[in-house]
C-alpha cells in the first residue's frame, strides 16, 4: 500500500511539474520557445560534456571518502552505482537522497553496510557544502549588482543558510555517539537481504569530508561554466556576472523544487521570474529556454545511465573487508 502511494505521489508530482512547464511555455509563446531551442541545439553537445564532468567529480569525491576501501569495490559496480545514482537524481523527487541510498546499497556488499551508509552521508554533506559555497559566490555577485535586498539576493542568502544547515546536521549525525544504531536502522531500510557489517571505526564517521567537498566544488564550478555556455546558446550576453546570476537562479530553483522530478516547473518558473535580471525582460522565452537546454542534456545522460544499469550485472561480493559479523552490540558502540 505504501509503495503504491509513493508511485501515485510521484506521478502526481510529475503531472504538476509538467502542467507548470506547459503554462510557462504558453505564456512565453510556444513558437518563440521552439525557435530559441532550435538555435541552441548546436551547443547541446558541449552542455552534455560539462554534465559528464559533474558526474565524474562525484566519482572522484566518493573515492576520497572511501580511502583505501575504494579498491574493495569492483570497477563494474562503480559503473553501475554511478549510473543508477545519476538516473535517480535526475528523474525522481528528492533524487539526490534516493540516488545516494541506492548507491550505498550497491557498495554495502563490498565495504559493509554501516560504512556504506556513513560514506553516503559524508558524500551528501560534501555536496551540500559545495552548493553552499557556490550559492555564496552567486549571492556576492547578485548582491553587488542588484543590492542585498533584491529578491534573488535574499533567496540566494537563504539557500546558503539552508545548505550549510543541512550539511552540518548530516555531519552531526555521523559524529553522534549512538550513530551506529541510526546507521543500522538505515541499513535495514535500504538492504532487504541480510548484509553482515563490522563495527565502524569512530574515526571514519567523524572525519570531515573536506577533500570531497573541494572535489564537489570543482563539479559545481563546471556547472557554472555550463550555464555560461547555455546563456550563450539562448542568445544572452555572456559575462562573469551574468553567468553567476544564471547559475544562482538554478541553485535557488533546484532547492525550492527538490520534491518535483528534475525540479520540473520550478527552475523554469525561476528563470521566467528573473528574466529581467538576465537581460531578457522583453524576451522571456530566452530565459525559459535556459532550463530546457540543461534538461535536454540531463535527461539524455539519464537515459544513457538507465541503459548502462540495464546491461550491467551486479558483481558478487567476495568476503569484503569490513563485512564480517560484528559482536553483539558492536554497532551501538561504534
Q: What is the pLDDT of residues 179-222, one digit of tens each?
A: 555 555 555 555 555 444 555 566 666 677 899 999 999 999 99
Query: How crowded is residue 331: how many other Cβ atoms within 10 Å of its Cβ?
Result: 23
Q: Which DSSP letter does residue 71 get?
A: G
Helical residues (DSSP H) of the chain, grouped into ranges: 2-28, 30-40, 44-66, 75-91, 95-111, 113-146, 151-175, 179-190, 202-206, 210-233, 240-256, 266-273, 284-311, 330-333
Q: Which DSSP letter does residue 234 get?
A: T
pTM of the model: 0.85
- The pLDDT value given to residue 189: 57
Q: What is the pLDDT of residues 116-153, one digit of tens each?
A: 888 888 999 999 999 999 999 999 999 999 999 999 99
- The pLDDT value given to residue 94: 77
Q: How confident is the model at residue 312 (pLDDT cuts 50, 70, 90)?
A: confident
Task: Delimit the domains of the chain by residue range.
Answer: 2-314+328-333
- The pLDDT value given to residue 326: 38
Amino acid at each position: 500500500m505504501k509503495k503504491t502511494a509513493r508511485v501515485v505521489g510521484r506521478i502526481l508530482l510529475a503531472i504538476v511539474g509538467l502542467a507548470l512547464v506547459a503554462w510557462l511555455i504558453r505564456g512565453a509563446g510556444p513558437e518563440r520557445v521552439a525557435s530559441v531551442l532550435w538555435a541552441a541545439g548546436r551547443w547541446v553537445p558541449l552542455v552534455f560534456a560539462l554534465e559528464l564532468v559533474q558526474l565524474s567529480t562525484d566519482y572522484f569525491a566518493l573515492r576520497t571518502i572511501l580511502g583505501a576501501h575504494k579498491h574493495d569495490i569492483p570497477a563494474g559496480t562503480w559503473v553501475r552505482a554511478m549510473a543508477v545514482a545519476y538516473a535517480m537524481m535526475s528523474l525522481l523527487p528528492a533524487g539526490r537522497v534516493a540516488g545516494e541510498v541506492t548507491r550505498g546499497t550497491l557498495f554495502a556488499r563490498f565495504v559493509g553496510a554501516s560504512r556504506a551508509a556513513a560514506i553516503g552521508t559524508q558524500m551528501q554533506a560534501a555536496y551540500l557544502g559545495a552548493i553552499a559555497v557556490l550559492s555564496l559566490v552567486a549571492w556576492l555577485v547578485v548582491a553587488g549588482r542588484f543590492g542585498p535586498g533584491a529578491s534573488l539576493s535574499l533567496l540566494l542568502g537563504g539557500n546558503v543558510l539552508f545548505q550549510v544547515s543541512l550539511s552540518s546536521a548530516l555531519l552531526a549525525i555521523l559524529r553522534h555517539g549512538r550513530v551506529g544504531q541510526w546507521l543500522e536502522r538505515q541499513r535495514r531500510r535500504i538492504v532487504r537481504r541480510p548484509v553482515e557489517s563490522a563495527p565502524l571505526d569512530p574515526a571514519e564517521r567523524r572525519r570531515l569530508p573536506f577533500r570531497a567537498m573541494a572535489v564537489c566544488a570543482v563539479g559545481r564550478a563546471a556547472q557554472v561554466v555550463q550555464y555560461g555556455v547555455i546563456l550563450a546558446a539562448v542568445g544572452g550576453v555572456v559575462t562573469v556576472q551574468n553567468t553567476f546570476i544564471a547559475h544562482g537562479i538554478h541553485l535557488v530553483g533546484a532547492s525550492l523544487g527538490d520534491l518535483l522530478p528534475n525540479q520540473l516547473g520550478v527552475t523554469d518558473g525561476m528563470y521566467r521570474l528573473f528574466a529581467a535580471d538576465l537581460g531578457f525582460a522583453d524576451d522571456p522565452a530566452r530565459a525559459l529556454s535556459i532550463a530546457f537546454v540543461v534538461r535536454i542534456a540531463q535527461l539524455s545522460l539519464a537515459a544513457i545511465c538507465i541503459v548502462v544499469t540495464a546491461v550491467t550485472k551486479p558483481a558478487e561480493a567476495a568476503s569484503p573487508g569490513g563485512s564480517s559479523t560484528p559482536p553483539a552490540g558492536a554497532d551501538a558502540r561504534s
